Structure 1
Amino acid sequence: MSEARKLLVLVGSPRRDGNTAMLAEGVQRGAAASGTQATLRFADDYITDFLRDCRTCRRSDGECAISDRFRTLFLEDFLPADGVVFCTPIYWYGMSGQTKTFFDRTFCYYAGSYPQSEEVLEAMCRKRIGLVLASEETYPGAALGIIHQIQEFSRYTHSEFVGTVGGIGNRRGEVAHDPRDPMRGAERLGREMFTRHYADYRADTPRSTGVWCG
């Protein structure tokens, strides 16, 4: 029997009982139902500081000198994962500060000044990526900046950006009443993270005349 795929569900909201967290738990349930080993983490349990100037901050042995738990989150949860679902509220038409800081802090470990940077960069690549967003606005453009950033991260790391789920709500838990049923969408995303069809064609990509089998 093959080893179960590993999925990291990373929550960039500070609210443990908020709409983003509810959607993230839906992703985790769906992933577990499909046999995936799904781990849910809150970024602010691990990240307490912003990226600094590595030229002045890095320790003499090459390790990051920032004394929080980001190293554990990144090296033990993110890098070994076959897929990652980033879950964030929309703050000022962008991702949360916690989520953005996660991306910024990865530089500490793939920069050339880190002794194992080549291994880190290799492990960052070729994952399956998903995105879950919570917002009080139904305006579709509110999410576009975040979607574009995740698309570019996926492109940069040769990863596959397989899907986005958006839930609308303001009060805590209100996302469950969104008539589009994002809770079901989040569970489906988790369940299909490693099976969902992904297509990103280039001009010279070999492809058949159809998209779906049959």
Structure 2
Amino acid sequence: MKALVLSSSPRRNGNSAALAEAAAAGLREAGHACDLVFVDDVVKSFLRDCRNCRKEDGACAIDDGFARAFLGQFLPADGFIAATPVYWYGMSAQLKAFLDRMFCYVAASYPRSPDVVRGLMGKRIGLVVSSEETFPTVSAGIVHQIQEYCRYTHSTFAGVVHGIGNARCDVAKDPSQPLVRARRLGRDLFSSHATDYAIDTERSARVWG
């Protein structure tokens, strides 16, 4: 399978970046092709008003690396893992901007919008998060947004790893071993048991067998 890891902290040697590297290592360990992209490298602008900004041929007029990363790496991937620190109880502005910028290519005013919509659907998605605070719901807003993204795109939320740390690579000292768990999340992204039931979902009375 083909996967993408989006590391969204501007710190290259920070805690969420370490989790992203571990997840990418797990994906490669399982034999999957994996690209690791630092979002800060490719997103240099927030989403603008497409009605005023879009080029005459329908292309996005924002001249940075987003189009290359989104069309060339994100859309072809069978799944992705997003890595973010907790900033003000939400995801990083870089990751939010990456998700927002998709609108330019999903909107009907983009000539290949139907292809983009098909490419967004049905992925396996994981999330790795770092924070100093240990309160149980500190990352709830981020998790919920990814859940809603999965619902909207008919994708599968495969798992979350939360590491605790503040100083650079502090997560390596977290006794819950988030780096090990992030590597496992990557390794099992396409094979782990993942469910999202509705009240009318047909299912047996047993989970394992």
Instruction: Give the match for residue 28 of structure 1.
Output: 24
Q: Percent sequence identity over matched residues?
A: 56
Q: Is 1:165 matched with 2:169?
A: no
1:140 Cα deviation after fit: 1.3
Name the aligned partner's letter for residue 24 of structure 1.
Answer: A
The Cα offsets for residues 165-195 of structure 1, whole Å up to 9 and x where unpaired, read as 0000000011000010001100000000000
Residue 165 of structure 1 aligns to a residue whose secondary structure is: strand
Instruction: Give the match for residue 106 of structure 2.
Output: 110
Which 5+ residue runs of structure 2 have no aligned equivalent?
Answer: none
Which 5+ residue runs of structure 1 have no aligned equivalent?
Answer: none
Cα RMSD after superposing both structures = 0.6
Q: 1:75 aligns with which of 68, 71, 83?
A: 71
1:148 Cα deviation after fit: 0.2
1:200 Cα deviation after fit: 1.1
Q: How far apart, CA to CA, are the structure 2 residues paired with 1:200 and 1:171?
A: 35
Runs of 4+ in 1 over 3 A off after TM superposition: none
1:79 Cα deviation after fit: 0.1
1:204 Cα deviation after fit: 1.6
Q: 1:174 aligns with which of 170, 173, 188?
A: 170
Q: 2:123 aligns with which of 120, 127, 135?
A: 127
Name the aligned partner's letter for residue 196 of structure 1.
Answer: S
Name the aligned partner's letter for residue 26 of structure 2.
Answer: G
Q: 1:199 aligns with which of 191, 195, 201?
A: 195
Name the aligned partner's letter for residue 35 of structure 1.
Answer: G
Q: How far apart, CA to CA, are the structure 2 residues paired with 1:204 and 1:146?
A: 27
Q: How far apart, CA to CA, are the structure 1 residues paired with 2:107 and 2:166?
A: 39
Q: How far apart, CA to CA, are the structure 1 residues paired with 2:139 and 2:195?
A: 21
Q: Is 1:41 matched with 2:42?
A: no
The Cα offsets for residues 118-162 of structure 1, whole Å up to 9 and x where unpaired, read as 110110000000000010011111100000000000000000001
Residue 183 of structure 2 aligns to a residue whose secondary structure is: helix
Q: How far apart, CA to CA, are the structure 2 residues paired with 1:204 and 1:89?
A: 36
Q: How far apart, CA to CA, are the structure 2 residues paired with 1:43 and 1:166?
A: 20
